[in-house]
Amino acid sequence: MRTLLRPTAFVDSPFGDDGKVARLAGGLNWFAMVELIAVDGHTRVSTELVPVEGVESRFDDDMAAQWQALTSPRAPLQLGERTIRVDQPQVMGIINATPDSFSDGGQFADAASAAAAGADMASRGAAIVDVGGESTRPGAKPVWEGDEIERIAPVIRQLASGGAAVSVDTRKADVMTAALGAGARMINDVSALTWDDRSAGVIAAANVPVVLVHHQGAPESMQDDPHYDDVLVEVYLWLEEGIAAAEAAGIPRDKILIDPGLGFGKNVAHNLELMNGLALLHSLGCPVVVGASRKRTIGALSGEAPADKRLGGSIAFALKAVEQGAQIVRVHDVFETVQALKVWRGLRDQALTPRL
């Protein structure tokens, strides 16, 4: 039996509430309450909502470590010469150099057009451009490493040479190595280093940040009938184990980011429960990435709207994520998301401006 800590009751400003609110992960969010989630195995058995004031008197050593993780600032990400601050939400733009990705597969005729789209994303405010050469949508088949490298390497090379901070979306060590050689400085692994047992070594040797994405099952079958006894708790514990494995492989914790993997072996209810409880993941002590852009859940909630008609839902998910302290949102629609976050940031800045 252990107890997990989920921050909640977010407030606009800490002014006048010394000791009654806590700052989340060194960012722009403060919370006044904590949900104490008692867990037995992989399932919650009880919950209790308690004020921040005095909550530390309830802590055992494990809870104290979680609290330290919840309230400690996250180190900036270093992508080559680019420093990405995570004390404010950032946007990661998606470039799929694939023929079959669910939203933008086949959109780019060649590497030059894909790179141009990525450069446009960077100019519109994407802090990171994430380039992928293998679709991991539900039902997708694996792609041979050589084909994947041929798709992504020239795109990454052009983007990196133009000064963009580039991440590569892959689960294969050989593709990671080729992408790093082309100028990528971050790895986004939808398998969380479980698909290729050489991947962790590649990342540790390169000393670059890595995103560990939760998944259940392989892309070919992950949406057939996903099941969890308690999706929020199970994802938390799975990511906790993934972080420990990455550290054991030589990857420093300040290079590790986590992603709950919306849509990767999860139905609509699972995705919504994860978004509602997202703030729990901050007690793992790593920056949180959320990729909900244009996903199937949005269509399911809006009359089966196709992928290219899911902008409103994508923005709603992005704002829900940053309201709970997510440091990075991974999106297709960069300009619109950046604009939404600028308005959100304006609201936060006004709330954090002393009135007296």
Q: So which residues are the catalytic ones?
A: 295, 330
Token pair 């990661």 in the structure block, residue: 92
Q: What is the 3-state secondary structure (H, E, C) of 153-169?
A: HHHHHHHHHCCCCEEEE
Q: What angle do CA 210, 137, 196 make, to 5 degrees?
A: 45
Pair of tokens at residue 195:
């698909």
Q: Which residues pair with 40 in a beta bridge?
A: 43
Rounded CA-CA distance 265/225 in Å is 8
Token pair 């700052």 in the structure block, residue: 23
Q: How many Cβ atoms sit within 10 Å of the Cβ of residue 70?
A: 23
Token pair 């590790």 in the structure block, residue: 256
Contact 264, 216 (CB under 8 A): yes
